[in-house]
Structure 1
Amino acid sequence: MTVTLSSTPVIETERLILRAPQAVDWEPWAAFAVDERSRFVGGPLDREKAWRAFGHVIGMWVLRGFGTFVFAPKAGGSALGMCGPWYPEGWPEREIGWTLWSPEAEGKGYAFEAARASIDHAFGPLGWDTAVSYIDPANSRSIALAQRLGAQRDDSAAHPGTDPCLVFRHPAPTTRYVL
């Protein structure tokens, strides 16, 4: 028997499908989580801790009614990463977060495309009136993506206690994207 999250939204962009996590996503996530590339999201982790972290991602959908989407190419193939609404217990604000699991996916605009769709979903169907992204100051690619999405540093905002941390606030939907 295969158990899946039901009644979760599926978002399609020009090149991507954003959907709730599935069992098939475990191995690509685990490969990312144990690698040095995961250092900006609490990694690297051993597989046991990666399993728990993946469960946390799935649990967000059950506990909050929303969660981070896994995104994959419409043309088929393995998941490329995760992106979307994130608000675990203890977080001071609702976040839009992103990770690219595969180094081959970098520099192709996938994270931007997924993040733009996730922001529209958060401010649209979810009814959010604000959202932030918490970013390690050493993560220059993530900072550049936040800025490209129109987010601005908010040095007065609280962050989840992970130091160092910069907070980027996303504007409400308008023309905010730099193409």
Structure 2
Amino acid sequence: MTSATPHIPTLTTDRLVLRAPAPRDVPAFAAFYRSEASRFVGGPMTEAETWRYLCQVLGHWTMRGYGRWIVTTRDDDIAIGLVGLHNPLDWPEAEVGWYIWSDNGKGYATEAGRAARAYAYETLGWTTLVSMIATGNDASVRVATALGATRQDDYHHPVYGAMGVYRHPGPQEIAT
């Protein structure tokens, strides 16, 4: 480990593990990004582009001190998604984001999103979060709604296009 290697904590939920991305995750990550399902999150991409993107995910931890985790089930260590905190320079503010590419429809995105949001509020001391959701990504809107987020605004990203800004309840609203 070098001084530039970030400490990435592992989070666990009832069914999931959120852990640091690793080289063994590239095949599952690349398979998702080759598919049309990735269209709402910058895809499709080649395997080489996906590798670079996963390196950016790790770099975000170094540059910001927080980031996104690979999601696995507690039963095995196979990557099924990417969930966490994201705030690149061209984003209006910090967000909690998710995508699950395997075992969809089981509530994993909501469960992992809740864990990432709790980390932001309880560990990092944040008081607000949004989710940036591409127009037409109805599944992600359902996750945001399940987490108590409400549509607040519209945003146009120069690369990703039209997005809805969904505001999450703050830690005070969640605690009550």
Displacement after TM superposition at 1:62 (Å): 1.1
What is the SS of the residue equivalent to 1:164? strand
Once the two structures are superposed, the pairs formed by residues 61-100 of structure 1 within 5 Å of their partners are 61-100=61-100
Matches of 2:155 and 2:136, distance apart in 1: 19
Q: TM-score, normalised by structure 2?
A: 0.90
* d(CA) in 2 for partners of 1:120, 1:71: 16
What do the CA deviations read for 1:32-64 (whole angstroms, capped 9, x no partner)? Answer: 111111000010011222121111111111111
Q: Post-superposition, which runs of at least 4 consecutive aligned residues in structure 1 deviate over 3 A?
A: 157-162
3-state SS of 1:21 partner? coil
Please report how far the alpha carbon of residue 117 of structure 1 lies from its aligned counterpart in structure 2 after TM superposition: 0.4
Aligned residues: 171
- Residues 159 and 130 (structure 1), Cα distance of their counterparts in 2 relative to 1, 3 Å cut: farther
Q: In the aligned structure 1, how far is the partner of 2:6 from the partner of 2:128?
A: 27
Deviation (angstroms), 1:131: 0.8
Q: Is the 8 A contact 1:92 1:159 kept in 2?
A: no
SS class of match (2:123): coil
Once the two structures are aligned, what percentage of the paired residues are identical? 42
1: CA distance between counterparts of 2:113 and 2:105?
14
Q: Counting strand residues as a fraction of each chain, which structure ranks higher?
A: 2
Residue of structure 2 equivalent to 1:49: 49
SS of residue in 1 equivalent to 2:92? coil
Partners of 2:83 and 2:173 in 1: CA distance:
21
Q: C-alpha separation between the residues in 1 aligned to 2:8 and 2:134? A: 30
Cα distance in 2, alignment partners of residues 42 and 15 from structure 1: 28
Q: Taking structure 1 as the reference length, what is the TM-score of the superposition?
A: 0.88
Q: How far apart in 1 are the matches of 2:173 and 2:80?
A: 27
Q: What is the CA–CA distance in structure 2 between the aligned matches of 1:150 and 1:54, rounded to whole Å? A: 29
AA partner of residue 75 (structure 2): A
| Residue matched to 1:26 | 26
1:100-121 Cα offsets, whole Å, 9 max, x none, are: 122xx11111111100100100
SS, match of residue 154 in structure 1: strand
Question: How far, CA to CA, are the matches of 2:121 and 2:48 in structure 1?
Answer: 34
Q: Residues 159 and 120 of structure 1: is their aligned pair in 2 closer, same or farther, counting only changes over 3 Å?
A: farther
- Mapped contact 2:134–2:163 kept (Cα < 8 A): yes
Query: Does structure 2 retain, via aligned residues, the 8 Å contact 1:153–1:167?
Result: yes
Q: Which one-letter code corresponds to 1:34 in the other structure?
A: R
CA RMSD of aligned residues (A): 1.9
Partner amino acid, structure 1, of 2:132: Y
Q: 1:37 maps to what in 2?
A: 37
Counterpart CA distance in 1 for 2:71 and 2:136 is 25
Contact 1:134 1:159 in 2 (8 A): no
